Amino acid sequence: MSERVIPVIDQRNLRATIPNQPVPATGLLGDRLGRPLRDLRISVTDRCNFRCNYCMPKEVFDSNYKYLPHSSLLSFEEITRTASLFVAHGVQKIRLTGGEPLLRKNLELLIEQLSALRTPEGKPLDLTLTTNGSLLRRKAQALKDAGLQRVTVSLDGLDDVIFRAMNDVDFPVADVLDGIEAAKEAGLGRDAKGGFSGLKINMVVKKSTNLSEIIPMARHFRGTGITLRFIEYMDVGETNGWQMDEVLPSADLIRMLQTEFPLVPLEASAPGETAQRWGYANAAGEFDPALGEVGVISSVTQAFCGDCNRARLSTEGQLYLCLFAAQGHDLRRLLREGASDADIASAIGLIWQQREDRYSALRGLQPASTVTSGKKRVEMSYIGG
């Protein structure tokens, strides 16, 4: 079979310009729509040991697929240096992702470096990671020891047959559940009240595949202190053959849950928070903290671009301003060509000031291809979720 490479980015358009006028890191940066820069997602590898068909379908990500060579990846030192410049500009939260981040060798060394960063006010960062959980039993304690506070585990169902079909590599659900146990034992996500509010479970719902898992998943995690969040299946990337009729709108999902468990709406925990929160109610119809909460992330049916404060750094150091962007800005070139911290910080500042991305909001108003001017959107496994 001939070699296939997905053109994830248009190389001709990659630029990251050092502005003539410095853009000082004041922490007050705003984009063209007045949105601050608070959240940085860093993809540490484009590889994964799963082949979830909504993300890395096997037919495309097969043995002929060309992953990035190691030399293309940002080193831990390059990541930490870049992250520190984002922090100076106002970033308070960093999420490591991928591909499967736990496949990146010695990831705990990166966690150690990132957990030493401080905001301009001297506060530690909110440092977290999204994982498929397959390697958590082996890695949870080392990650915690290195300074990781929280973790999000992706889990699309409890039924072993459905779960194995969704990850498409026949990975047993019991091992992910054991990984979640290992995270708890290590204290990842443990809060001051003894709950696990920092340990979250993400379930992508694809109507044809795991609709039947919604209620069992809710029942399983209700009352455990762990928050389950349902994510609408998104049209991210170009390879997953996305169709709207596979999306279960969050409003329908909440109605479905309400038939089993009374729920009450809760306030957003922070500005720019992607999940809408619902609390399990007691017999009096009031939120019962002992039963906990669920979240819904309505990326398709209710765009939350209005307060999107997230930047994304790809595995090879391209800065993306939106999950659905077709092109990035080449920070790696600046890093490797010897630019100073002040120059790179200015470039980041200028790029953010010029940002006007709001793909999901526009998607509702016009055909998807016109939002990205016909250019191919970057893959989720490259940019990170």
- Which residues, 6+ apart, have CB-to-CB distance to 220 below 8 Å? 158
Smallest distance from ligand SF4 to CB 118, Å? 26
The item of ligand SAM, ligand SF4, none sharing an interface with residue 308, based on CB under 5 to 8 Å by kind, is ligand SF4
Which CB, 90 or 385, lies closer to ligand SAM?
A: 385
The structure tokens listed for 294 are 């669920």
Report what 233 binds from ligand SAM, ligand SF4, none; CB cut-off 5-8 Å by kind: ligand SAM
3-state class (DSSP) for residue 93? strand
163 binds ligand SF4 (CB under 6 A): no
Q: For residue 152, which phi and psi values (nearest 5 degrees)? A: -115, 130
* Cβ-based burial of 339 (10 A; exposed 0-12, middle 13-18, buried ≥19): middle
CA-based nearest residue to 201, from 170, 232, 180: 180
Instruction: Look up residue 143 and give its amino acid.
Output: L
Q: How far is CA 276 from the centre of its chain?
A: 16
231 binds, among ligand SAM, ligand SF4, none (CB under 5 to 8 A by kind): ligand SAM
Closer to ligand SAM by CB, 210 or 346: give it: 210
Sheet containing strand 263-265, strands side by side: 263-265, 276-280, 293-297, 227-232, 199-205, 151-154, 126-131, 93-97, 39-43, 310-313, 318-320, 329-330
Site for ligand SAM in 228-247 (CB under 6 A): 231, 233-234, 236, 240
Within positions 187 to 226, which residues make up the interface with ligand SF4, using CB under 6 A?
none
* Least Cβ distance, residue 287 to ligand SAM (angstroms): 26
Stretch of 65-73, 128-136, 274-282, 338-346 lying at the interface with ligand SAM (CB under 6 A) = 128-136
Among 42, 52, 85, 114, binds ligand SF4 (CB under 6 A): 52
How far apart are CB 4 and ligand SF4 at their closest, in Å?
17
Place of tokens 């010029």: 354
Question: Which residues of this chain interact with ligand SF4, rule CB under 6 A?
Answer: 48, 50-52, 55-56, 98-100, 132, 154, 303-305, 308, 310, 322-324, 357-360, 381
